[in-house]
Amino acid sequence: MNGTKYTDEHKSFIHENIKKYTHQELTAIFNEKFGLYISTTAMRGNFARWKLTTGRDTRFKNGYAPFNKGTIGLMKANKGSFKKNHLNKNTAPIGAERIRADGYTCVKTAMPNTWQEKHRIIYGHIPTGFVVIFKDGDKTNFDLENLEAIPRNESFNLNKSGYSTANEELKPLIRVVAKIETAIQKIK
């Protein structure tokens, strides 16, 4: 019936029978009576478009108590149910390290699931608006001389110019250019 219009006879049949049958039953009866093939999904679309309802209220009524009221879990608590303050046996302890997909090492600092980047912990206090970078670009070199706090907009300029993938000979030049661009942006 795609692309064709419903006749008044089709619409009146649906209006008269929507409260008597389920959507599947009404669709089957409609198709049989009129010799058409309309899917149940298409018929539901008609109901919505014509703002028709079955009149059935399937919501819980006030005062109704479900059969599993007061139970924990799907049915009742069992030996596999979690207890209060229970931690999964696979939970990593505080101090555990992991390497994220972007290559940064993170350290677990609190339970249940608080992780911080290791280079930020090692560097210590980072002023607002600054980020910590690895001077040599090696995200596993946590030597304090290799870590440096730079303004966020300077970091943006470094990333924009491809600092992390540049040759070692070009990195000092890229740093100088990034500082100059940052200074120009401040003046503007």
Per-residue pLDDT of the chain (188 residues; tens, 9 = 90+): 455 578 888 888 988 888 888 889 999 999 999 888 889 998 888 888 888 888 888 888 888 887 777 776 666 666 666 677 776 777 888 888 999 898 889 999 988 788 999 989 998 898 898 989 887 778 888 888 888 888 888 888 877 777 777 777 777 777 778 888 888 877 87
Give the model's pLDDT for residue 106. 92
**pLDDT reported for residue 177:** 80
Ranges for all domains in the chain classified under CATH 3.90.75.20: 97-187
Task: State the Cα torsion 59-61-66-70 to the nearest 10°.
Answer: 120
CATH architecture under which domain 97-187 falls: Alpha-Beta Complex (3.90)
Global pTM value: 0.49
pLDDT of residue 81: 65
What pLDDT shows up at residue 28? Answer: 93
40-49 and 23-34 helices cross at what angle (nearest 10)? 100
* Per-residue pLDDT at 73: 62
d(CA 61, CA 76): 24
Dihedral through CA 86, CA 90, CA 93, CA 97, nearest 10?
-150
